[in-house]
Amino acid sequence: CLWLCVFLSVVHCAPGHHYNSSNHRCIRCPAGTYQSEFGQNYCITCPGNTTTDFDGATNVSHCKNQVCGGELGDFTGFIESPNYPGDYPSNVDCIWTINPPHKRRILIVVPEIFLPIEDECGDVLVMRKSALPTSITTYETCQTYERPIAFTSRSRKLWIQFKSNEGNSGKGFQVPYVTYDEDYQQLIEDIVRDGRLYASENHQEILKVSNSPLCPITVYYIL
């Protein structure tokens, strides 16, 4: 123990590394762990169900929640990129489906979305009728938009996919939705297409309150 303590006082393994007494050298912390301090002989396991995108992590902020996707069918809800509002992980493939009750359609609000443009569309969010690339597409983006937008789904059901590559990451998104009686289809479409919905900064800020799955309901009351 004395020899190890003396050795560590001289070697000082860098953050993201730990001293391995078996081969007497500094080793990078494996994926799913981190070490933020110098001269340690252990790595700290990421909390909960989080993990890192890479080995040699130096901070707990590099631990990211990977959970995403699922089947949604309630009257309201939301989808969000994994680890939101922290940066999403690399190489994720999230798939959601929204299956509203009978005779109901889907209204969606994208308050803001943060995807790095440096990746040349390596990270993409797409909403369409089904998994088939040729099916009707309601929304697709690979860029950052801080201006909110509301729209109705072009199909009664939605298949949603978010994919990221191994490159840059970003904050991602939290996108709420609500379903409505299809008898009001024309009325809702007229509302979301009306420029007055986004005309004032106050309206835009209301639409950006995405931490509530009821956010889209505000569309009904703005005009």
Contact 119, 91 (CB under 8 A): no
- Alpha-carbon gap, residue 210 to 6, rounded angstroms: 54
Give the pLDDT confidence score for residue 222 in this predicted structure. Answer: 39
- Rounded to 5°, the CA angle 188-194-195 comes to 150
CA angle 158, 162, 166 (to 5 degrees): 165
pLDDT of the residue at 45: 98
Q: Are 157 and 99 in contact (CB under 8 A)?
A: yes
pLDDT-based confidence at residue 220 (cuts at 50, 70, 90): very low
Q: Are residues 34 and 55 in the same domain?
A: yes
Q: How many Cα atoms are found within 13 Å in the side-chain-facing hemisphere of 14?
A: 5
Say whether both 122 and 162 belong to one domain: yes
pLDDT tens track for 146-162: 989 999 999 999 999 99
Question: Any residues with CB less than 8 A from the CB of 186 and at least 6 apart, and which?
Answer: none
The answer to whether 149 and 143 have CB atoms below 8 angstroms apart is no
Residue 186, domain extent: 67-222
Q: Are residues 92 and 71 part of one domain?
A: yes
pLDDT-derived band at 173, boundaries 50, 70, 90:
very high
Q: What is the mean pLDDT of residues 99-108?
A: 94
The mean pLDDT value for 90-96 works out to: 96
Tell which residue, 177, 213, 171, has the closest CA to residue 84.
171
Contact 32, 46 (CB under 8 A): yes
Average pLDDT over residues 114-137: 93
Residues 25 and 79 in one domain: no
Which pLDDT belongs to residue 5?
Answer: 52
In whole angstroms, what is the distance from residue 12 CA to residue 184 CA?
A: 67
Query: What pLDDT is attached to residue 223?
Result: 37
| Amino acid identity for residue 30 in this structure | P
Same domain, 75 and 163: yes
Q: Do 79 and 119 lie in a common domain?
A: yes
Q: Model confidence over 13-55: pLDDT tens digits? A: 999 999 998 888 999 999 999 999 999 999 999 999 999 999 9
The CATH number for 110's domain is: 2.60.120.290
Task: Give the pLDDT score at 194.
Answer: 76
Residues 36 and 107 in one domain: no
Predicted local distance difference test score (pLDDT) of residue 181? 93
Domain shared by 211 and 112, yes or no? yes
Q: What single letter denotes the amino acid at residue 75? A: F
**pTM summary value:** 0.80
The number of folded domains in the chain is 2
* pLDDT of the residue at 74: 80
Does one domain contain both 141 and 31?
no
Q: Which residues pair with 140 in a beta bridge?
A: 126
